Structure 1
Amino acid sequence: MSKNKQPNVIVFFTDQQRWDTTGVHGNPLGLTPHFDQMAKTGTHLSRSFTCQPVCGPARSSLQTGLYATETGCYVNGIPLSQDQRTLAHYFKDEGYQTGYIGKWHLASEDPVPAEERGGYDDWLGANALEMCSDAYDTVLYNNDCEEVKLPGYRVDAMTDAAIRYIDERKDNPFFLFLSFLEPHHQNHLDNYPAPDGYEERYTGQWMPPDLAALGGTSHQHLGGYFGMVKKIDEALGRLFDALKSLQLSEDTIVLFTSDHACHFKTRNSEYKRSCHESSIRVPTALTGPGFDGGGHIDELVSLVDLPPTLLDGAGIPVPEEMQGASVLPLTRGENEVWQDDVFVQISESQVGRAIRTKRYKYGVTAADGDQGDHSFAYTYKEEFLYDLHADPYELTNLIQFDSYQHVAEDMKERLLTRIRTVEGREATVEPVEKVRNRQRKVSIR
């Protein structure tokens, strides 16, 4: 990096992308060579999870470093408070130019009013990109709320806009948030429209074990979904090519991550909003100053850890109110005390909470039957327990078995502690009735 130069920062943000779409996580289809290279040469956060598996709430957390109950955006459709400080504010305070391109999902309407853009200076976005555009009909709105139609497949069109932005601002430090819709479904079609020719390439090919077992809509949609992932990765490669040609590679931090994953209607009636890995686990990697050569980080990382990580990487003090922690010390091999679980809040499909350790997953849902637009419950009931060592694709729910009761008790106490520290509330969990399964006792860890 140039002496005394603040690093540029780019967030390359996808929507609804599973972790196992990537080669470094075992996908054999060659969908993500650029992400895989990024993970191998930079810092790969191999166990990365959303803190809220639905668009708006997750996005509020990534902008603020707070859990969705603290931002107030605990379900879709709640605009981010204009009093909330976002990454744009923190970077702008340090002299950065700030730009946003793509899907926002934190405003009250489209075009997004200037006061609802989270403090970003340069704007080419849409609140609900899936509603105002289509795969080959890219419509965004500029700073003056004017409609802008961009040519090409939507991923390419937005990548073109991002490269233009980078080129125009290359002489001064910038923070760019590039937010794709892909590989999210196109709502009005309930379909995954890949570029022409891409869906056919992947239809009927390899399928993740949970989808192979449970089906859902995966046989119909997985080819298009994988085709969208392939195009996203090609866009990532184009972005790196642009940085290299502009001699910005050594001066620019790039974060790749997603808001949540996709279970293809195998866990509930739609695509996310559950505690399962297929809803919450996402691909995440960083490159650039401080992150090149950071290696494979095996610790459990939450979406709320990424905002402090970006600020720390840019040399900006991390605000005390942020609820996550920077992973930058982990890249240096420092003996940091790190969390041994991640906490997940679930909304809309249910009022739910979950805790995940390296071995177990434990999920609860509101006990009173009130599953409306509420942010929390005082009483939950047990719903899921998975042993991820024996059952990484969560095909066998162990919550009712007496041989796992001591595991469930340990996970319950972890969860209640997280609810207390994150939400500032006391809650209780009603146990399910246990049955004997004649299995030997298992260890908690």
Structure 2
Amino acid sequence: MTKKPNFLFIITDQHRADHLGCYGNPTVRTPHIDRLAKHGRRWDRFYVANPICMPNRASIMTGRMCSVHGARHNGIALSKDQTTFVELLRDAGYRTGLIGKSHLQSFTGLPATNRFTPAPGRTTPSPHLRDAQKNNRHGSDYDLEIVPDWETPLASRIDGDFYGFEHVEVVADHGDQASGDYLLWAREKCPDFDSLTGPDNALPDNRIKAPQAWRTAVPEDLYSTSWIADRSADWLGQRAEDGEPFFLQMSFPDPHHPFTPPGHYWDMYDPGDMKLPASFGKGDLPPIRAMREALQNNTDPRNNQNPFAVTQDEARSIIALTYGMISMIDDAIGRVVAQLEALGLADDTIVVFTADHGDYMGDHGLMLKLLLHYQSIIRVPFIWMDPREGSEAVSDHGLASSIDISATVLARAGIQPYNGIQGRDLLSTQSPSAIVVEEDSQRPMTGFERPQRVRTLVTERYRMSLREGEDWNELYDLQADPHELSNLYDRSGSAAARHELTELMLRRLIELQDRSPLPAYRA
């Protein structure tokens, strides 16, 4: 590799680290992703900055924690005042493309759950003075991904720049409910496409009975995973012709719920062969008890984004369908990597693979994400395959974070990062003694009376999570208790470790305070 490197950045959605063959899963078939790990570096302890889609994707783009860039939860867009590493790549001469899921802005367009409420007996500020930031990320610049209003391609509604991406073809939502630019294409390709999607149009199947799972009538070649691979391969073909360095983000909305792998991927895996997590049905934290009770009483909503408890049969079915979605993504990645090789681009292209967060996927008998920072939620895969480094697999056991991706890409591209970036170059620096995970929910969920604010510290040995407004916290010895079953936080024998971790968390939070902007002193 003698020229400026290209980058193919692959990201999946709600994909835990141990749902890949190269991370030790003996069942799911992922030969193409495994090949990347075989010829690259695989991080064993790679953690998200936030276990929710929009916040962590914003942290990947900026190299900054959510408490700093401000996109704390879904529904809060990444401000265009925040610099992204993709903008620096483009500034340095890279062609930049985003094909697939973006989710840097809201999908739903629904009213905010937390709104400014006038206080009786007090003068109410004018609308532009009701928030600490006057740029409240509302308006047409931040409504670009709202699904109900997506009547024309995103590219036609921007000025050739979307957070640094000059080329955009975007998917919103998930499963066979995927929309955005992809849905516009699917409807053009198949005029009656809407008659193929959703549970009401599902194909009959008596094998699977699980929440948010149906056998989609959408064929494999019209499914969003195939569209993303095809459009990515086409874009790479154009880059081979112009010869300029490129950064392509290929972003799959699966294996997120709803669980609707198409065609032969639906029954690629037999639910009866699926192994339940060791922690299934275990754990006695208040929200886990509440979700189990809701399952027994049939009172828990199971058709939205909130986590819920499942039966053993439901868990096995959902795991099987999730593996089907993952295998479809793996096949799509194989086709795109083969295109790199056919175009003569492979020797100059670094391929990166990660996910935006994980999924309980049966851990402690739960599904989906939010609120409880188990390893299945906060630990994701990260693979870096650089042709310059040779062809032998390397496993890195040091702690790393999604805020580190931007700094690592910029360093490899030979570009100086901007002031305020908080991530580190994974290839040239020592791993830290601890990393922090943030979460700020906007609404109460089963087992909670209020929205939660959680801060988690992960060290080589421990995971500690502190939450605002509750009388319980968590502390686990990950070496002795890898399935996080024994909460040590209130045990007297753990007082010294708890105090040490609390101080370490405080010091790490201080370190992660913003260093931007620079002072405005005159020379």
Query: Contact 1:210–1:395 (CA<8 Å) still a contact in 2?
Result: no
Aligned to 1:121: 166
1:352 aligns with 2:454: yes
The alignment partner of 1:28 has SS state of coil
Match in the other structure for 2:137: none
- 1:312 matched to 2:416? The reply is no
Q: Is the deviation greater in 357-366 or in 216-225?
A: 216-225
Q: CA separation in 2, counterparts of 1:248 and 1:11?
A: 14
> What is the aligned length?
392
Aligned-pair distance for 1:98?
0.8
Q: Which of 487, 493, 511 is the equivalent residue of 1:403?
A: 493
User: Aligned partners of 1:299 and 1:382: how far apart in 2?
Assistant: 29
Per-residue displacement from partner, 1:337-384 (whole Å, max 9, x unpaired)? 3302111001216200000111110001013x6xxxxxxxxxxx6511
For 1:339, the equivalent position in structure 2 comes to: 432
**Cα drift, residue 198 of structure 1:** 2.6
Percent sequence identity is 31
Letter in 2 for 1:239: V
Aligned residue among 249, 260, 264 for 1:197: 264
Mark the runs of 5 or more structure 1 residues left unpaired by the alignment.
Answer: 187-191, 330-335, 370-380, 426-445
Return the alpha-carbon distance in structure 2 between the equivalents of residues 193 and 291 of structure 1: 38
CA contact (8 A) 1:53 1:260 kept: yes
Q: The residue matched to 1:201 in structure 2 has which SS?
A: coil
After TM superposition, which residue ranges in structure 1, 4 or more long, deviate above 6 angstroms?
Answer: none
Give the one of 171, 176, 184 matched to 1:147: 184
> Which residue number in structure 2 is paired with residue 28 of structure 1?
26
Partner Cα distance (2:366, 2:250) in 1: 29
Give the Cα separation in 2 of the matches to 1:298 and 1:420: 25
Unmatched runs of 5 consecutive residues or more in structure 2: 106-142, 190-220, 283-308, 442-450, 516-523
How far the C-alpha of 1:268 sits from its partner, in A, is: 9.7
2:101–2:170 CA contact under 8 A, matched in 1: yes
Q: Which moved more, 1:391-400 or 1:254-263?
A: 391-400
CA drift at 1:325 = 0.2
- The superposition leaves residues 276-335 of structure 1 with CA deviations (integer Å, 9 ceiling, x where unpaired) of 101111111011244544711111110001111111112222233210101122xxxxxx
**How far apart are the structure 2 equivalents of 1:90 and 1:220?**
44
| Of 53-62 and 110-119, the range deviating more from structure 2 | 110-119
Query: Which deviations, in whole Å up to 9, do the C-alpha atoms of 1:390-419 show, x marking residues without a partner?
Result: 111112211121111111111111111122
Other structure's SS at 2:273 match:
coil
The corresponding residue for 2:211 is none
The one-letter amino acid paired with 1:277 is Q
Q: Give the distance between the partners of 2:264 and 2:431, measured in 1 at CA.
A: 45
1:198 and 1:6 mapped to 2: Cα distance? 38
Q: Which amino acid aligns with 1:278?
A: S
For 2:321 and 2:91, the matched residues in 1 are separated by 41
TM-score, with normalisation over the residues of structure 2?
0.70
CA contact (8 A) 1:102 1:140 kept: no
TM-score, normalised via structure 1 length: 0.82
Q: CA deviation at 1:87?
A: 2.5
Q: 1:321, 1:207 → 2: CA distance?
A: 44
Aligned partner of 2:253 among 156, 181, 198: 181
1:245 is aligned to 2:243: no
Q: Please name the residue that 2:231 is paired with.
A: 161
Are 2:425 and 1:326 equivalent residues in the alignment? yes
What is the CA RMSD across the aligned residues, in angstroms?
Answer: 2.4
For the 8 Å contact 1:263–1:278, the answer to whether it is kept is yes
Contact in 2 for aligned 1:211/1:218 (Cα 8 Å): no
What are the equivalent positions in structure 2 for 1:6-45 lying under 5 Å apart? Answer: 6-45=4-43
Structure with greater Cα Rg: 2
Tell me, what secondary structure is at the counterpart of 1:385?
strand
* Equivalent in the alignment of 2:322: 225
Q: Which has the higher contact order (CA 8 A, sep 6+)?
A: 2
Farther off after superposition, 220-229 or 283-292: 283-292
Q: For residue 26 of structure 2, give the secondary structure of its aligned residue in structure 1.
A: coil
Q: Secondary structure at the match of 1:105?
A: coil
Counterpart AA for 1:181: P
The offset of 1:26, in angstroms, is: 1.6
CA distance in 1, matches of 2:389, 2:65: 25
